[in-house]
C-alpha cells in the first residue's frame, strides 16, 4: 500500500494542459448553435465546414483500389512520400544528398524528433525562441531537456515584428544554439519576416554558428508554396546544418491523419546518414513507425500529375479565402487594418484576456486567451457578426 509521501501516480501535480486543446473542449461544451470557433487552426470554407480536398478524396479512392497490404513499412514510413515532398519543401535544394527526410506523425512528431536529436548532439544547446510562439513549442523543446531562451518577437501594441530585438537575441546566441524559426504564417501573430529580414536573420545565424530549426507547418497558406519555402531555402543556401519540421496537415487538409516529415541537413552525406540513424532510433522508441494512411494519400496525390495540379488549385483557393477574409476584417475598422498585411491562418486581435472571455460568454465566440484567432474559423454568414462583436469588445 502506497502512502501519500511515496511519490506515485497519485501524487502527481495537476497538469497545466495545452491552452489550445482546453479551448476546443470549452467550445465543444457550449450548446449555443450560433457559436463561432476561431480557436484551433483548422481551415473552414465559406460554408463553415472543413471539407476533404478533392485531390485527397480522389487519392483515397485510388489507394483503396490499389493498396494490397497493411504490412509494416518500417521506421521511415512511406519513403516515396518523403521523396516527393522534396521539391516542395526543399525547392532548389531538392537534389542535395546531404539532406535526408523521414515521415513523422504530423509536424509535432517532426519537431519532437528535431529537438531530441539536437539535444543528443549538443546537450548544452539552448533553443532561442521568439515570443509569442505556438504554445506547444516550449514544452516540446523543454521535454527533451533543452533549455529555452525566450526573446520578444512581436510588438502587440504596434502590431509589428520586434526585428531589432530578434536580431539582438540571435546575436547573443552561442555557437551550437538552436534558432527556432517559423518558416511562414507565423503562429500566433501572422507576422512573417520579409525577404530582407530573412537575409539578415540568415546572416546572423551563420555568423554566430547557430543551428536553424524551421517549423514549416503552413507552407502554401501565406504567400504561395515557393514564397513560403524561401526563408528555409535561403538558410539551406549557406548553413551546413539545418532542420525542417514540415506538416501536410494544413496544406493538404489531412489534420487528423497526422502527416509530416523531418528533413535534416548536415555538412556531409555520411554525417547526415548517421544523424538520421539516431533520428530513426528515437522514432522507434516513441512511435516505432509513423501512421501510414495520410502519408500514403499525400504520396498518391504527388505521384499523379493531374491530382497534384488539382491540389495546387485547391491550395490557392484556401489561400485566396484567407486573404479575402483578412481584407474584409481589415476594412471593418482602422484598428484592424494591420490584419491585411499579415499571413496565414492566424492573427492576434487587440483584445485583453477579459475581452476575450467576454466574447465567449456574451457572443459564444471562442478564440485563444492571447486574442489569437483563426482567420477562416467562421463561415461567410457568421463573419459580419464576428466583426461586429470584436469591434464592440474593442470599444468596451
Q: Is 133 in the site for ligand LMR (CB under 6 A)?
A: no
**217 given a catalytic annotation:** yes
**Toward ligand LMR, which CB reaches closer, 173 or 188?**
188
Q: Is 101 in the site for ligand LMR (CB under 6 A)?
A: no
- Which is catalytic among the residues 78, 215, 257, 310? 215
Burial of 151-186, coded b for 16+ CB within 10 Å and e otherwise, reads bbbbeeeebebbbeebbebbeebeebbbbbbbbbbb
Question: Which positions from 30 through 59 interact with ligand LMR, judged by CB under 6 A?
Answer: 40-41
Minimum distance from residue 195 beta carbon to ligand LMR (Å): 25
Report how many helices (DSSP H) and strands (DSSP E) the chain contains, helices first.
Answer: 13, 13
Q: Is 24 in the site for ligand LMR (CB under 6 A)?
A: no
What is the 8-class DSSP label of residue 369? T
**Toward ligand LMR, which CB reaches closer, 210 or 216?**
216
Per-position x/- string for 164-193, each x denoting binding to ligand LMR as judged by CB under 6 A, each - no binding: -----------------------x------
**134 given a catalytic annotation:** yes
**Toward ligand LMR, which CB reaches closer, 20 or 204?**
20
Minimum distance from residue 131 beta carbon to ligand LMR (Å): 15
Q: How far is CA 151 from the centre of its chain?
A: 19
**Toward ligand LMR, which CB reaches closer, 187 or 272?**
187
Residue that the C-alpha cell 542535395 belongs to: 96
Minimum distance from residue 161 beta carbon to ligand LMR (Å): 19
Report how far residue 260's alpha carbon sits from residue 108's, in angstroms, rounded to the nearest whole number. 8
- Which is catalytic among the residues 78, 82, 125, 134? 134
Cβ(228)–Cβ(185) below 8 Å? yes
**Looking at 81, 134, 252, 343, which residue binds ligand LMR (CB under 6 A)?**
134
Beta bridge partners of 215: 182, 245
DSSP states of 3-61:
-TTS-SGGGPPPP---HHHHHHHHHHT---TT-EE-SS-----TTS--PPPHHHHHHHH
Those residues with Cβ within 8 angstroms of residue 271's Cβ, 6 or more apart along the chain or in another chain:
none
Cβ(246)–Cβ(262) below 8 Å? yes
**100 given a catalytic annotation:** no
Q: Is 120 in the site for ligand LMR (CB under 6 A)?
A: no
Site for ligand LMR, rule CB under 6 A: 20, 40-41, 134, 136, 187
Q: Which residues are catalytic?
A: 134, 215, 217, 250
Amino acid at each position: 500500500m502506497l502512502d501519500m509521501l511515496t511519490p506515485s501516480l497519485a501524487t502527481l501535480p495537476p497538469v497545466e494542459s495545452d491552452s489550445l486543446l482546453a479551448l476546443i473542449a470549452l467550445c465543444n461544451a457550449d450548446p449555443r448553435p450560433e457559436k463561432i470557433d476561431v480557436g484551433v487552426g483548422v481551415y473552414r470554407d465559406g460554408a463553415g465546414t472543413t471539407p476533404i480536398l478533392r485531390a485527397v478524396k480522389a487519392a483515397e479512392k485510388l489507394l483503396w483500389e490499389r493498396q494490397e497490404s497493411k504490412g509494416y513499412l518500417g521506421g521511415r514510413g512511406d519513403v516515396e512520400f518523403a521523396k516527393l515532398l522534396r521539391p516542395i519543401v526543399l525547392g532548389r535544394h531538392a537534389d542535395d544528398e546531404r539532406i535526408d527526410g523521414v515521415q513523422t506523425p504530423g509536424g509535432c512528431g517532426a519537431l519532437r524528433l528535431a529537438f531530441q536529436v539536437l539535444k543528443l548532439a549538443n546537450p548544452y544547446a539552448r533553443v532561442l525562441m521568439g515570443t509569442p510562439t505556438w504554445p506547444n513549442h516550449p514544452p516540446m523543446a523543454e521535454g527533451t531537456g533543452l533549455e529555452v531562451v525566450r526573446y520578444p518577437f512581436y510588438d502587440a501594441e504596434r502590431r509589428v515584428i520586434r526585428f531589432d530585438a530578434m536580431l539582438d537575441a540571435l546575436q547573443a546566441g552561442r555557437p551550437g544554439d538552436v534558432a527556432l524559426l517559423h518558416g511562414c504564417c507565423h503562429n500566433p501573430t501572422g507576422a512573417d519576416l520579409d525577404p530582407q529580414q530573412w537575409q539578415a536573420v540568415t546572416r546572423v545565424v551563420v555568423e554566430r554558428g547557430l543551428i536553424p530549426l524551421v517549423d514549416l507547418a503552413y507552407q502554401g497558406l501565406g504567400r504561395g508554396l515557393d514564397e513560403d519555402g524561401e526563408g528555409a531555402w535561403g538558410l539551406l543556401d549557406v548553413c551546413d546544418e539545418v532542420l525542417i519540421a514540415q506538416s501536410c496537415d494544413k496544406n493538404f487538409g489531412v489534420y487528423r491523419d497526422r502527416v509530416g516529415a523531418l528533413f535534416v541537413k548536415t555538412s556531409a552525406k555520411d554525417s547526415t546518414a548517421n544523424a538520421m540513424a539516431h533520428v530513426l532510433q528515437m522514432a522507434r522508441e516513441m512511435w516505432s513507425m509513423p501512421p501510414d494512411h495520410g502519408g500514403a494519400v499525400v504520396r498518391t496525390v504527388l505521384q499523379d500529375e493531374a491530382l497534384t495540379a488539382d491540389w495546387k488549385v485547391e491550395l490557392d483557393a484556401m489561400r485566396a479565402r484567407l486573404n479575402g477574409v483578412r481584407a474584409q476584417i481589415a476594412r471593418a475598422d482602422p484598428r484592424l487594418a494591420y490584419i491585411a498585411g499579415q499571413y496565414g491562418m492566424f492573427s492576434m486581435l487587440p483584445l485583453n484576456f477579459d475581452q476575450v472571455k467576454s466574447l465567449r460568454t456574451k457572443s459564444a465566440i471562442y478564440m485563444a486567451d492571447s486574442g489569437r484567432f483563426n482567420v477562416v474559423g467562421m463561415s461567410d454568414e457568421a463573419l459580419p457578426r464576428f466583426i461586429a462583436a470584436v469591434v464592440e469588445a474593442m470599444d468596451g
